[in-house]
Structure 1
Amino acid sequence: MRKNIISFVVCFLVVLSYNAQEHIVEADKVITPNWESSFKKALKKSKKEKKPVLIYFTGSDWCGPCKVLDKNLFHTQKFKDLADKDLILYEANNPRNKDLVEAERMKENYKLISKYKVRSYPTLVFVNHKGRMIGYKKGLILTEYYYPFIQSVIENY
């Protein structure tokens, strides 16, 4: 009897965890920010649409705080709506596994890391269409604190 109860509980937990993972994967597929493919394209689009560029400096495959920020901020409908309306996005990824980013893009990302003096991850840098910095936020903070900061950059642009 005891084995049957333990078996039932284990099966229940397996099914429950499978369903939870399925919903998380579906949510990630649906809510994805519109990252530009190059920084030059982001600047051109910024000039044309008169929006600031948000450069997200991340170490996507090794930085724990970056993973939290990515999930809790960038993959939310609230952020996607805000970004689609008021921002141009560029992700400057610096992964340990260099196969995750094309060589040309890595070169571009290294230049940006140097130019904006990024020393820690995650870091958000806002620039105008000329590439001049207009806002800077480093480290992980509570997600709801990003929105007033982002809104102030947008309003002052």
Structure 2
Amino acid sequence: MKKIFLLVVVMSVCISSYSQEKKTDSLKTTNWESSYNKALKKVKEERKPMLIYFKGSDWCGPCKKLDKELFSTEKFKKLSEKNFILYEADIPFNEDLVENEKLGINKKLAKKYKVSSYPTILFINHKQKIIAYKKGLLLTEYYYPFFESVINKKRG
């Protein structure tokens, strides 16, 4: 009887973990551009700043937390759709997680912008010049004043 109970508990935990993962994936912001060149083209056309999110999807704990607590929220989706072009520059240890061409671009961007710690959020303008950046993990609510400062720079 104890073995059956233990088995049920283990299965419940596994199912719960799986469904939470899927839920987080489904909350993922849908407006991340698939390529840097497409994102840059939109930045030029729409005159919005590009938010480049440097992350290590398979090794960076703070990045995973930021994905879940900031980038997967409805509040961020609404703010970003109106004000930013989004590009995710993932540089995982398991390089098979990102297609070769995109991984190469992500590494070049990290080198160009001297990104050495993860997560890093960088804003650039249509000339690919840095407008603002944040390194490391902050409390979620601290990102919104940062985002607002970028929006206000764009207006000014």
The reply to whether TM is greater than 0.5 is: yes
The CA deviation at 1:79 is 0.6
Residue correspondences, number: 154
* Equivalence for 1:64: 61
Distance 2:14 2:110 in 1: 39
* Equivalence for 2:146: 149
* Structure 2 residue ranges without an equivalent (≥5): none
Q: Does 1:139 align with 2:136?
A: yes
* Equivalence for 1:113: 110
Q: CA RMSD in A?
A: 2.1
* Structure 1 residue ranges without an equivalent (≥5): none
SS at match of 1:105: helix
* Equivalence for 1:26: 23
63 and 12 in structure 1: CA distance in 2 versus 1, 3 angstrom threshold? closer
In the alignment, is the contact (CA less than 8 A) between 2:24 and 2:68 conserved in 1? no
Q: Whose radius of gyration is greater, 1 or 2?
A: 1
- Cα deviation per residue 1:43-81 (whole Å; 9 max; x = unaligned)? 110111111000000011001111111111111111111
- Cα deviation per residue 1:5-62 (whole Å; 9 max; x = unaligned)? x966974685477457535523531443421122121111011111100000001100
71 and 132 in structure 1: CA distance in 2 versus 1, 3 angstrom threshold? same
Q: Percent identity?
A: 55
Give the TM-score normalised by the residue count of structure 1.
Answer: 0.86
Distance 2:20 2:58 in 1: 22
